[in-house]
Amino acid sequence: MKQATIKDIAQLVGVSASTVSRALKGSPEISEETIIKVQETAKRLNYLPNKAALSLLHFKTRTIGVIVPNLGYSFFSTALEGIEEEASKRGYTVIASQSLESEEKEIRNVIDMKRSGVDGVLISLAQYSSKLNHLLELQSQMPIVLFDRVSDNIHCSKIFVNNTAGAFSAVEHLIKIGCKRIAYMAGPKNLLISNRRKDGYAMSLYRHKMKVDEKLIVHCEFSHNSAMKTALKLLKSKDRPDGIFAISDRVAIGAMAAAKKLNLRIPEDVAIIGFNDEPIAALVSPSLSSIRQPAKIIGQMATKLLIDQIESEKVFTPVIKSYMTRISVRESTKKK
């Protein structure tokens, strides 16, 4: 009589083979009802795990994958330093790739990581990554950890900064130097960090008894041209803002270019602050105030959690960790 397989169980229960595999291990990600059905079906079929398959399943390459939006962003290149440092300490090598802010490219990156035989993957989401089916499927096969740009729709370990608190401090700084109409140049609407920073923006205004004007909240892509075009429209408006909080330094620098094009003085006519504190922030003229993130520490911690999960013999409980930010005040917000 032919030996029953995971596929046989999956067909009878009406779930995927990966779900059966996790249910047989009692994974907390699978509902109790499904676990009972799978285990009863396995018992009925006299299912025995294939030892060769289990051997392959537990084989480790001691390699981890990293997928980031763009290594040209200082935050991600610095985070990668932390990732490689921690991985090397634990005896792992790193394969890195870029989604270049494209969900399609992110999906291809995931496929490449599977083919490379990595033991787990660290991921920071592309700006328009929304369906996430490719990540849920990947998670059914290996551990994943999200960092910086994360999603509430995936149950896994996540490492990021307190974006709400960081945005709050940026906007409060603009208020304290006398700004009365403060705009928020956000990223794509579906991006969680964009919305968390919007929360901090609104909270800071409320704290200082200022109203949120939805016309002052604008969205753009993480590119210089998109930011400049969006800022031009904002600064040409009848009631233009006298302060701008930008979701990133690149967006902030696009806003600065727009202000210069309109012959507006920075910070006298419009004060501008960014987020990330990339090295270029100190080099542009005027130098850009920004919110600093501990990028290297985030990379190290994300790697530690991923490798801990890879090496754990028990069911791993996801860890959510956030870090506080610091403000770097420069010429773009120093009003005389």
**Residue 30 pLDDT:** 82
User: Do 163-293+327-333 and 6-56 have the same topology in CATH?
Assistant: no
**pLDDT tens track for 78-124:** 999 999 999 999 999 999 999 999 999 999 999 999 888 899 999 99
**Residue 47 pLDDT:** 76
Residue 28 has pLDDT above 80, yes or no: no
CATH number of 60-160+295-322: 3.40.50.2300
| 97 phi, psi to nearest 5 deg | -145, 165
**Residue 255 pLDDT:** 98
**pLDDT tens track for 285-309:** 999 999 999 999 999 999 999 999 9
What type of residue is 36? I
Q: Taking residues 31-51, report their average pLDDT.
A: 78
For the chain, the domains span 6-56, 60-160+295-322, 163-293+327-333
pLDDT mean across residues, the chain: 91
Q: Taking residues 226-245, report their average pLDDT.
A: 96
CATH superfamily assigned to domain 163-293+327-333? Response regulator (3.40.50.2300)
**Residue 59 pLDDT:** 65
CATH superfamily assigned to domain 6-56? lambda repressor-like DNA-binding domains (1.10.260.40)
**Residue 129 pLDDT:** 86
Say what the pTM is.
0.80
